[in-house]
Every structure is written in structure tokens, then in C-alpha cells.
């Protein structure tokens, strides 16, 4: 079931937009947005941004008829929380294909979307660095990875909860199994479950998505088995609550107040409910470790939690915790590219300031 769910989850790509330029305007087709939320569509022409309205499933298409004659038009898909999920653009330099032309067959799209060439080049370069570092460690050469305080604190948090005789509460975020933050949160869940099994400390995992629940139950069962304590696993402690955002937040906050956990792990993607959970956890005196790729929620976690995994630290968690040289090597590739990015930003800023927009044009993605 888990394998099948994960297969389906990986098949599900991030929200995306497809544009079709017709005589009547630009037809914007949107796929991969959740059923229960309203997403906004914006159009950017030059420096002007126009809101084209709100889309709610099943209404996932929009025809833009108020277009300029020429120039680059970019469409942005905005999530209900204000962050951007997808963008697509096109150049209006040629007349749109005629719809009334008799006997004309519209040319099929090409075999390669050239607008996305910079992304492909970047993916290939990153892949090369990725495998070079994996080979590097396979050859037995050492690599240095800095200590990540938030991940070092995982063991301490489990230990403290055990000493206090209180359960551990693990929240794997708000998103479904088709997102990277949830997959990363599930990887950390396995590590924390193993530790808690070693110390025989009970773990509570309230969940918002049924697919995540099915995966979490299997992962925890396996972790207890690997720790040699399959008898400690109780399915009743990994349970579904509700899919409603604030309903889930109140369930988690209520569990914190009733069960008084000694350690709370808030891992995964969060929206506005992040502070309700983190502050309640702070009130009950639990040691809290949080990790999220939601940049807007990071300040709340930093203010209310003892340790916070910031930025890529969250995605590095499983590699860091496994301490397998091959996985650690992939973190080194990230570092190299980060240095490359810094250099390109500096060079791009300098060149653009000197009136040479070569680098910024080269990296432009439509």
C-alpha cells in the first residue's frame, strides 16, 4: 500500500500551468491544485502585475483576453497563503494561430520546451556534482559536514522525554504524501521512532492526511521492528484527525494540553497554524524541535521552539542522521552550488549595474 501510494505520490507533480495562445486570448490551464482551496492567478507584463481572479477546483482554466500586442507575459499561480506555486510565460511577438483557417492543422508542440533549457542545464550540472561527490566518498575520501544543532538535539529531546516519563508528540506537517516536506518529515519520523523504541517511550502521531497516516503507520511499525521492540507498536497512537486546517491545529494543541508531552517534533510544511502548535507546546514546557521549508513560518518556530531546522537543514536531516558517507556526499554538492549561486549573483549584479544584462538574460526562465 505504501509503495503504491508513494508511486502515485511521485507521479503527482507540483502544480503547473500550461498556456495556449489562441485568437481569443491566452488559455491558461492549471493542474495539480488541491480540491479544497482557492488559488489566485496573476499576470505580469513588464512591471505591471494584474490579478486575474480566484480559481477553485473544478474551475481550473482561465481565458485571458486583455493582452498587450507584443512583449513577454508571465502568469503566476498564488497559493491561498500568498506564496507562489507555479509560473508560466510566453512571448507575444507573433500572431496567434488562426482558428478559422480552413484546412489548417495547428502545428504540434515541439519535442523540447526551449524556455526551460536553463533548468535542464542546471539539473544536469547538479546531477554531475551529485555523482562526483558520491564517487569521491565511495573511494574512501573523507568529507566534512558541519554539525546541525537541531538534528543533534533529536536524541536529547527523546532522552529528556523518557526521563520525564512523558510521551513524545510528532507532527509531520500539513501537506499530503505528494510533497517533499512530508517525505522528509517521514524520514525523520523513522529515526525518532527508532530512538523512542530503544527507550520504550510512547509516541503520539496525530495526522491530517489519510495517505500520510497509512505511510506513517507502516514506517513506525518497521522502525519498532528494526529497534527490536515490535511489541511496543500501537496503531492507536498513529491516528487520523481531520483534514481541516484549524481543526487539525486545535486537535494537536488539545493533545499537547491533555497528554503533556516531554518532546514535540514539528516537522514538515506548515501554514498559519504553525504558531498555535508551537506556542501551545512551549506552554506545556516540552522541548521542541521544528523544521520546515515554509520560510514565512520560520520566525514563529524560531521564537517558540528550542531548536529549528532552517532552510536546507530540513532536507539534509535524513542524510545527516543516517551518517552514510554516500548520502552525506550529496550535501557537499549542495554546498558547492550554493557557492556558485553566490558568485553568479555577485557577477550578475555587477554586470547588470554596468549595463551588461548578459547573465540575467541567460538565466531567464519563462
Partner 1 sequence: MSGPLVLVFLSGLFIVISFFIPRDPFPKVELWALRWYYIVVGFALLLGVDSLVLHHLRRIRRGGMQAFYSAVLLIGFFVTLVWGIVAWKQFGSPFAPHSHFLWIFMNVEVPLEATMFSLLAFFIASAAYRAFRARSFESTLLLVSAGLVMLGRVPLGQYVAVPLLSAFGVLLAFELYHRPVRTPLDRVLYRGGPVLVLLFSGILVLPAVFPQLAARIPGVASWILTVPQVAGKRGIEFGLALGGLAFGYRILFGMERGYLR
Minimal distance, residue 99 CB to partner 1, in Å: 20
Of residues 1 and 68, the one with the C-beta less far from partner 1: 1
Which residue number, 124 or 362, has a Cβ lying nearer to partner 1?
124
CB of 312 closer than 8 Å to CB of 334:
yes
- Nearest approach, Cβ of 164 to partner 1 (angstroms)? 21
State the minimum distance, in angstroms, from the CB of residue 66 to partner 1: 25
Q: Which is nearer to partner 1, 81 or 163 (CB)?
A: 81
Q: Residue 58 has which C-alpha cell? A: 473544478
SS3 content of the chain, % helix, strand, coil (to 5): 50, 20, 30
Least distance from partner 1 to the Cβ atom of residue 54, Å: 17
CA distances in angstroms from 277 to 6, 28, 175, 297, listed in the order given: 28, 37, 16, 12
For residue 315, the minimal CB distance to partner 1 (Å) is 3
User: Residue 202 is inside which H or E element, if any?
Assistant: none
179: left (phi over 0), alpha (psi -120 to 50) or beta: beta
Instruction: Name 159's Cβ contacts closer than 8 Å, sequence gap at least 6.
Output: 199
Between 198 and 327, whose beta carbon lies closer to partner 1? 327
Minimal distance, residue 202 CB to partner 1, in Å? 15
Give 102 or 147: the residue with its C-beta nearer to partner 1.
147
Q: Which is nearer to partner 1, 66 or 188 (CB)?
A: 188
In the complex, the smallest distance separating the C-beta of residue 86 from partner 1, rounded to whole angstroms, is 11
Would you state the cell numbers that stand for residue 366, as one nine-digit string?
A: 519563462
Question: What separation in angstroms does the CA of 176 have from each of 107, 186, 259?
Answer: 38, 11, 26
Choose between 5 and 163: whose C-beta lies nearer to partner 1.
5
* Secondary structure (3-state) at 242: coil
Least distance from C-beta 53 to partner 1, angstroms?
Answer: 21
Our CB check for partner 1 shows the closer of 152 and 234 to be 234
- Residue 308: phi and psi, rounded to 5, are -135, 130
Task: Write b or e for each residue in 98-128: b if 16 or more Cβ atoms lie within 10 A of its Cβ, otherwise e.
Answer: eeeeeeeeeeeeeeeeeeeeeeeeeeeebee
State the Cα–Cα distance between residues 152 and 306, nearest whole angstrom.
12
- Distance of closest approach, residue 175 Cβ to partner 1, in angstroms: 12
Complex with partner 1: residue 118 or 159, whichever CB lies closer: 118
Distance CA 281, CA 168 (A): 11
Coil vs helix vs strand at 128: helix
Between CA 366 and CA 362 the distance in angstroms is 11
Amino acid at each position: 500500500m505504501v509503495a503504491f501510494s508513494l508511486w502515485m505520490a511521485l507521479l503527482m507533480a507540483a502544480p503547473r500551468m500550461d498556456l495556449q495562445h489562441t485568437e481569443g486570448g491566452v488559455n491558461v490551464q492549471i493542474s495539480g491544485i488541491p480540491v479544497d482551496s482557492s488559488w489566485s492567478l496573476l499576470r505580469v507584463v513588464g512591471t505591471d502585475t494584474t490579478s486575474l481572479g480566484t480559481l477553485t477546483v473544478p474551475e481550473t482554466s482561465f481565458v485571458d483576453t486583455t493582452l498587450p500586442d507584443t512583449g513577454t507575459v508571465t502568469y503566476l499561480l498564488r497559493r491561498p497563503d500568498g506564496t507562489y506555486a507555479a509560473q508560466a510565460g510566453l512571448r507575444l511577438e507573433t500572431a496567434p494561430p488562426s482558428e478559422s483557417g480552413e484546412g489548417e492543422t495547428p502545428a504540434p508542440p515541439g519535442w523540447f520546451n526551449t524556455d526551460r533549457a536553463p533548468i535542464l542545464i542546471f539539473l544536469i550540472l547538479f546531477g554531475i556534482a551529485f555523482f562526483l561527490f558520491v564517487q569521491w566518498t565511495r573511494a574512501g575520501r573523507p568529507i566534512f559536514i558541519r554539525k546541525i544543532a537541531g538534528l543533534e538535539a533529536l536524541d536529547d529531546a527523546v532522552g529528556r522525554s523518557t526521563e520525564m516519563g512523558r510521551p513524545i508528540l510528532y507532527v509531520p506537517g500539513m501537506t499530503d504524501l505528494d510533497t517533499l516536506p512530508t517525505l522528509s518529515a517521514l524520514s525523520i519520523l523513522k529515526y525518532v521512532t527508532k530512538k523512542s523504541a530503544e527507550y520504550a517511550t510512547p509516541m503520539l502521531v496525530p495526522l491530517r492526511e489519510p495517505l500520510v497516516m497509512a505511510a506513517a503507520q507502516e514506517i513506525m511499525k518497521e522502525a519498532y521492528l528494526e529497534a527490536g521492540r515490535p511489541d511496543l507498536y500501537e496503531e492507536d497512537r498513529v491516528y487520523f484527525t481531520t483534514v481541516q486546517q484549524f481543526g487539525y491545529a486545535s486537535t494537536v494543541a488539545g493533545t499537547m494540553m491533555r497528554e503533556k508531552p516531554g518532546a514535540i517534533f514539528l516537522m514538515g510544511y506548515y501554514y498559519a497554524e504553525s504558531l498555535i502548535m508551537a506556542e501551545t507546546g512551549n506552554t506545556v514546557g516540552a522541548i521542541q524541535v521544528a523544521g520546515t521549508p515554509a520560510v514565512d513560518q520560520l520566525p514563529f518556530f524560531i521564537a517558540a521552539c528550542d531548536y529549528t531546522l532552517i532552510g536546507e537543514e530540513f532536507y539534509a536531516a535524513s542524510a545527516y542522521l543516517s551518517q552514510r558517507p554516500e548520502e552525506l556526499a550529496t550535501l557537499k554538492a549542495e554546498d558547492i552550488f550554493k557557492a556558485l549561486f553566490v558568485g553568479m549573483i555577485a557577477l550578475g549584479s555587477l554586470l547588470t549595474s554596468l549595463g551588461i544584462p548578459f547573465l540575467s538574460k541567460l538565466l531567464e526562465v519563462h
